Amino acid sequence: MQTEPATSLVLAGVGGQGILLASEIIARAAMAAGFDVKTNEVHGMAQRGGSVVAQIRFGPRVYSPLVPARSARILAALERVEALRYVDLVAPDGLAVVSSQAIVPVTVSSGAARYPDDAEPRLRSAFARLLFLDAASIALKAGSIRATNVVVVGAVAADLALPASAWEESIRASVKEKYLDLNLRAFQLGRDEARRVLGA
Amino acid sequence: MDHLESVSVTVDLLSGNEAIARGAFEAGVKVATGYPGTPSTEILEAAAAYRPAIYCEWSPNEKVAMEVAVGASLAGARSIVTMKHVGLNVAADPLMTFAYVGAVGGMVVCVADDPGMHSSQNEQDTRHYARFAKIPLLEPADSQEARDFLKRGLEISERFNMPVILRTTTRVSHSRGVVRLEEPAADRPPAEFHRNPPQYVPIPAWGRVMRARLEERLARLREAVEVSPLNRIEPGDPSLGIITSSISYQYVREVFPEAAVLKLGWSYPFPDGLIRRFADSVRRLLVVEELDDFLEEHVRSLGRACEGRAWVPGIGELSPARLEASRARMEGRPAPQPPDPGIGADLPARPPVLCASCPHRGVFQALKEFDVVVTGDIGCYSLGVLPPLNRMDTILCMGAGVSMPQGFEKAGERRKIVGMVGDSTFFHSGITGLLDLVHNRGTSTIIVVDNRTTAMTGHQDHPGTERNLMGEPVPAVSIEAIARACGIEHVATVNPWDLAGTTRALREAIESGKAAVVVSRGACPLCAGKPRGAPRVVDDSICQQCQQCLDLGCPAIEFTEGNLHINEYLCGGCSLCQQVCPFEAIRTQEGAHAD
């Protein structure tokens, strides 16, 4: 039953940041490129400002929607410390795309926990390859901070061998018509930034 | 599946829940009912996209939903009913007897389990209900099977005149996968009920006949399941054979790629002959299943040695990683090492919280004034149990927030009791508790936190809203009028963003010495479409850092390294922080006062 292993991705963030849309765009792009795809997302209670994670796997044949340990090729996070929660899912040579945004949880505001001030050095030591980017500012440049998630998707796309036409088809299928241009711009800027930094 | 074939076939990327709805559409389902509950909710939401071909309704609770679907089945139409695992407890009464009466139009009961309790109060295993009710159980393992099995379930239901349970889990319901679509079949004959009381009325004389007929149907089902294509053997290395079903199958294929596998899609009645044949073809037999030892116990009862729970955890959900660890233990290898724990060990927890400007926050803040026992219920307001709100003492099940105070009171609890229930939960199963309170002379106060929607599950309508799932304008049922009709004399309505007014109303109710209902009316900010007011700011020159605003547990108020700040993107302008600030250090940017 051995087949070519699936490509696995993990998306992390905070409820309300648009993880579900980011997951859908990546999954639809893989489907448009002709792959079998599975994703998994968190719904319900976990969306009320809590930690949210989505997993995406694509390849000739995908079984588990959940990413096996130490196998994710890319971890993308919309919040800096959220990336650190999923270190054990990422392959030893995996890439982490992390938005530098910091969202302080209520547990920190109430004094019950501390928000780490050394997130960036920890990210550098945890991941073999790291793209630590100010995705929110890039999204503002594209037209709205709400497109931060799609900036990160663009950065992820820079490291995946899916055709540009698949990404465009996917974004068209996933966002509302009136936000299409904004999201296409955000995607492009995110991809350009990743290519610039990663040297693709 | 072969991805290259998809070129000539219509495919889409669907969650398991969306795929079930698609299957219902393709199979000509006429009536779809349910009550929201994670992880089942999106089945009916997706079915509503096929209106008017499918009539869809959110029923007040799962029991009503089941009974509506039964009515449709007896009229000859195909129907589905959707709920989460604990919802089936509510709907168990009609299900058990409907198994006797029997379906006419195909009826599939779609139940989603929640191993790991992502959004649930227990992790009960729905598979027992199939055996309990003596009806077929189908377990899809991905979105394609969710669509296919729903259609097969309707056929089985009609062929054997039985309701069928289609059981998913969180990871089947909420995983997306590529699904091949077909157009709906030709129109089905119009519904028409054929009167036949001995068939539809289980008075004891006829019920006894039905009881015997149920066993005859089960015997026929046992023959059919042996040859069903929903169960299959995937040949492999005979040194280890694995029996599995549902999402566990996918993990088995990742972790034991070389093993022989018996994949059960139609798992009750058990295909005994197939299980025996498979067991006898392998040297070692392992059962991989989540939750209870449903399959393992049965395999043992067939006289076949097998392993399962000794290696595979039954508490919480499985994952490729957990099954990998099971395999390592089986083979006497050390478990895979977790990465350097230093990197993530001290990360701040990020639990779900009440949203900024959530109306429930005002009620919890007001409740801090009273030394009372608070019995809670199921909904977003369950989050009020957590710090810093800390204002809920018990949660049991839907409706218990209203019913349990009576027990506390009659037991002689020295404090007054306050029950708390959401609007949708009140209609679901809060009204009977209210009747008990009045009829049996209770004096507790019930707060109905009415945020005008079923919020936790993603904003579904309920009898108190002005629109139903079909999109029709409907009269909103008044909670206050129901309370009065139940015999409650002390009924008050408060604005939960007015702390002083809410506290006053609660005091009057609690001190009234009578059963009382306080309705906290404020729409969920996620539905309101616009913020309640201008974002608040902290004036650092006035702020004494007394941190009283932090006791609200508002995600918009951030406090790190001595810097107290309100996040302008998150703040909904509800003004509760401004009301609790003793130094008037919180205001709007322009200096305006509270709304």
Q: Measuring CA to CA, how many Å separate B92 from each of A13, A85, B88?
A: 38, 40, 6
DSSP character string of B174-209: TEEEEEE--PPPSPPPPP-----HHHH---HHHHHH
In CATH, which of 3.20.20.70, 3.30.420.40, 3.40.605.10, 3.30.70.20 is domain B536-588?
3.30.70.20
CB contact under 8 A, A31 and B13: yes
Please check whether residue A12 touches B, CB under 8 A: no
Residues B539, B587 contacting (CB under 8 angstroms) = yes
Which pLDDT belongs to residue B342? 67
CB contact under 8 A, A63 and B254: yes
Q: Measure the CA–CA gap between B48 and B32, rounded to whole angstroms.
A: 9
Which pLDDT belongs to residue B341? 60
**pLDDT < 70 positions in chain B:** 1-9, 338-342, 591-595
State the smallest CA–CA distance between residue B102 and chain A in angstroms: 34
Q: Measure the CA–CA gap between B108 and B163, rounded to whole angstroms.
A: 6
CB contact under 8 A, B347 and A36: no
Q: Measure the CA–CA gap between B497 and B356, rounded to whole angstroms.
A: 12
Q: Which residues, 6 or more positions from B437, have their beta carbon under 8 angstroms from its beta carbon?
A: B402, B405, B406, B444, B446, B488, B515
State the smallest CA–CA distance between residue A171 and chain B in angstroms: 14
SS3 B56: strand
List chain B residues with CB under 8 Å of A1. Answer: 234, 236, 253, 257-258
Which pLDDT belongs to residue B9? 66
Q: Which residues, 6 or more positions from B167, have their beta carbon under 8 angstroms from its beta carbon?
A: B111, B112, B113, B126, B127, B130, B137, B138, B139, B246
Supply B125's token pair: 């295993």
Look at residues B264, B247, B242 and name the one whose alpha carbon lies nearest to residue B319.
Answer: B247
Supply B278's token pair: 């498979």
Which pLDDT belongs to residue B340? 63
Residues B425, B464 contacting (CB under 8 angstroms) = no
The DSSP secondary-structure symbol of A67 reads P
Q: Measure the CA–CA gap between B483 and B423, rounded to whole angstroms.
A: 12
State the smallest CA–CA distance between residue A59 and chain B in angstroms: 9
Q: Measure the CA–CA gap between A80 and B350, rounded to whole angstroms.
A: 13
CB contact under 8 A, B119 and A114: no
- List the single best residue of A1, A130, A172 to mutate versus B (max B Cβ within 10 A): A1
Please check whether residue A193 touches B, CB under 8 A: no
CATH class of this structure's domain B7-226: alpha beta
Angle at B436 between CA B432 and CA B442, to 5 degrees: 140
Q: Measure the CA–CA gap between B117 and B82, rounded to whole angstroms.
A: 18
Q: Measure the CA–CA gap between B501 and B55, rounded to whole angstroms.
A: 43
Which pLDDT belongs to residue B338? 66
In CATH, which of 3.40.50.920, 3.40.50.880, 3.40.228.10, 3.40.50.2300 is domain B232-330?
3.40.50.920
Rounded to two decimals, the ipTM of the complex is 0.95
CB contact under 8 A, B343 and A122: yes
Residues B421, B401 contacting (CB under 8 angstroms) = yes
Supply A118's token pair: 């050394």
The DSSP secondary-structure symbol of B378 reads S
Q: Measure the CA–CA gap between B296 and B270, rounded to whole angstroms.
A: 11
Interface of A with B in 131-150 (CB under 8 A): 145
10-residue mean pLDDT series, chain A (200 residues): 80 92 97 97 72 96 96 97 94 96 89 91 94 97 96 98 97 96 98 91
Residues B109, B163 contacting (CB under 8 angstroms) = yes
Please check whether residue A50 touches B, CB under 8 A: yes
List chain A residues with CB under 8 Å of B177. Answer: 36-39, 62, 65
Q: Measure the CA–CA gap between B117 and B290, rounded to whole angstroms.
A: 12
Domain ranges of chain B: 7-226, 232-330, 359-528, 536-588
Q: Do domains B359-528 and B536-588 have the same CATH topology?
A: no
Q: Which CATH superfamily is domain B359-528 in?
A: Thiamin diphosphate (ThDP)-binding fold, Pyr/PP domains (3.40.50.970)
State the smallest CA–CA distance between residue A53 and chain B in angstroms: 12
Which candidate from A27, A34, A88 shows the least CB-CB separation from B13? A27
Return the beta strands (E) in B256-333 as ranges: 259-264, 266-268, 285-288
Q: Residue with structure tokens 């077929």?
A: B136
CB contact under 8 A, B339 and A47: no
Residues A52, A85 contacting (CB under 8 angstroms) = no
Q: Which CATH superfamily is domain A7-107+117-198 in?
A: Pyruvate-ferredoxin oxidoreductase, PFOR, domain III (3.40.920.10)
CB contact under 8 A, A107 and B4: no
Which candidate from A44, A50, A81 shows the least CB-CB separation from B39? A44
State the smallest CA–CA distance between residue B191 and chain A in angstroms: 37
Q: Measuring CA to CA, how many Å separate B402 from each of B93, B438, B449?
A: 22, 12, 12
